[in-house]
Amino acid sequence: MVFLTRRATFSASHYYWNEAWSEEKNRQVFGKCANRNGHGHNYTLEVTVAGEPDPVTGFVVDLKWLKDVIEEKVMAAWDHRHLNLEVPEFATTIPTSENIAIAAWKRMEPVIAGAGGARLDRVRVYETPEIFAEYRGEA
Amino acid sequence: MKAYFGRRYSLSASHRLHSDALTAEQNRAIYGKCNNPHGHGHNYVVEVLVGGPVAAETGMVVNLVDLDAVVRIEVIDRFDHTNLNLDPLFTSTVPTTENLCRVVFRLLKDKLHAIEDGDGGTRSAEADYKLEYVRVEETENNFFQCFDAGSDISIA
C-alpha cells in the first residue's frame, strides 16, 4: 500500500457564527472569528489517496487526474469565495477547518471511489501553517 | 463525525545528550557533537493532533484557545528558553528528541479533555477529544512522532 498526497491552495473568507446563540456567546466562544464582516486565509488542502501502484504505469493514481478532481470539485467552488455566503454546504454549517475538511472529502470521495483505483485516505486543511484539521472518513 | 485538529508550536531550548550509564568515551562515540559538555540549542516545533467528534454547535473538535492554553501551561512555559537537562523529567532520561516527544505526549495526554471552567463544568462544548499524536521537529531535517508515551515515561 502506497499513500500519495497532492497539495493545492485556495484563498477564501469566512466567519464563525452560531445562529442559535446570542451575539455575546458567539463572541465569547469564537473570539475574533465571529466578526460578521469575515476574514480570510490562504488555505492549503492536502489530499491523500492510498492504493497499490499499477503494475504497468507504476501509479497509485495519475497525479494529473487527481489534480483535476481537486480543481473541479473543490477549487472551482471555493477559491476566492466567501465560504459562509457562497458555498452551499456552509449555509448552515460553520466553516471551521474541521468542517472544511469534511466538506472537501464529501466533494471528492465519490469521484475517487468511482474511479475504482485508489481510495481516499484523508483530507487535511491548513488554515495557516500552524493550524490544520483532518478528516479520514470516520463516522 | 470524527475529525482531527492540529496545531504547531515553537519552543527554543538547549540540551546535551549524555548518559550516566556510559563512559565518557562511549558518550562521545555515540552522541558525537551532541555530547559537548556545555550543550547546544534548537528551535523545536511541537505539532499536536487531537481527534474527536465535531461538535455541531461550534463546528470544532477542540477550541484552539483551550488547546493553546493547555500546551502553553504544560509544555511551552515549562521548556521554552530552558536547558532541558535541568528539568526534573530529564534527570535520569537523556533529552533526545525521541524522549522529549514522549514527555510532551505524557504531559498533554491527561490534560487535553474536560477543561474546567471553575463552575464544575467544561469551558468547551467539545470535551470529547483525545490526543492522537505528538510530533517534535528538532530541525527542519529531522523529526520524531509518537502515538503514546510508553510505559517508562513518568511525570509523577
Enter the C-alpha cell of residue B127.
470535551
Interface of A with B (CB under 8 A): 16, 18, 20-21, 29-31, 93-99, 101-102, 124, 129-136, 138-139
- Of A50-59, A98-107, B64-73, B111-120, where does mean pLDDT reach its minimum? B111-120
Give mean pLDDT, residues B88-99: 95
Give the pLDDT score at A115.
Answer: 94
Q: Is B61 on the interface with A (CB under 8 A)?
A: yes
What's the CA gap between A42 and B102, in Å, rounded? Answer: 32
Give the residue on A whose Cα is nearest the Cα of B4: A134
CB A22 within 8 Å of CB A34: no
Give the pLDDT score at B127.
Answer: 64
Distance of CA A99 to the CA centre of its chain: 8
Give the residue on B whose Cα is nearest the Cα of A17: B58
What's the CA gap between A104 and A100, in Å, rounded? Answer: 6
Q: Which domain holds residue A125?
A: 2-135
Best B49, B54, B65 member to test A by mutation, with max A CBs in 10 Å, is: B54
**B61-92 burial, b if ≥16 CB within 10 A, otherwise e?**
bbbbebbeebbeebbeebbeeebbbebebbee
Q: Is B58 on the interface with A (CB under 8 A)?
A: yes
Main-chain dihedrals φ then ψ at residue B24, nearest 5 degrees: -60, -40
Place of cell 473543490: A74
Of A16, A24, A117, give the one whose Cα is nearest residue A66. A117
DSSP assignments along A23-88, one per residue: HHHHHHHHGGGG-TT-EEEEEEEEEEEEEPPPTTT--SS-HHHHHHHHIIIIIHHHTTEEHHHH-G
Give the pLDDT score at B113.
Answer: 63
Residues 6+ apart with CB under 8 A from A114: none
Interface contact B58-A18, CB threshold 8 A: yes
Answer yes or no: is pLDDT of B140 > 90. Answer: yes
What is the ipTM for the molecules in this complex?
0.92
Answer yes or no: is pLDDT of A39 > 80. Answer: yes
CB A17 within 8 Å of CB A26: yes
Give the residue on B whose Cα is nearest the Cα of A95: B59
Give the pLDDT score at B124.
Answer: 53
Residue B138 is a catalytic residue: yes
Give chain A's domain count.
1
Interface contact B4-A135, CB threshold 8 A: yes
Contacts of A138 in chain B (CB under 8 A): 1-3
- Taking the domain B2-146, which CATH number applies? 3.30.479.10
Give the max Cα distance, chain B: 60
pLDDT tens by residue, B35-92: 999 999 999 999 999 999 999 999 999 999 999 999 999 999 999 999 999 999 999 9
pLDDT tens by residue, A117-137: 899 999 999 999 999 999 999
What's the CA gap between B43 and A25, in Å, rounded? Answer: 38
Give the pLDDT score at B35.
Answer: 96
Answer yes or no: is pLDDT of B26 > 70. Answer: yes
Contacts of A95 in chain B (CB under 8 A): 59
Helix (H) or strand (E) holding B139: strand B130-139
SS3 A113: helix
What percentage of chain B exceeds 70 in pLDDT?
Answer: 90
- The identity of residue A78, as a single letter, is W
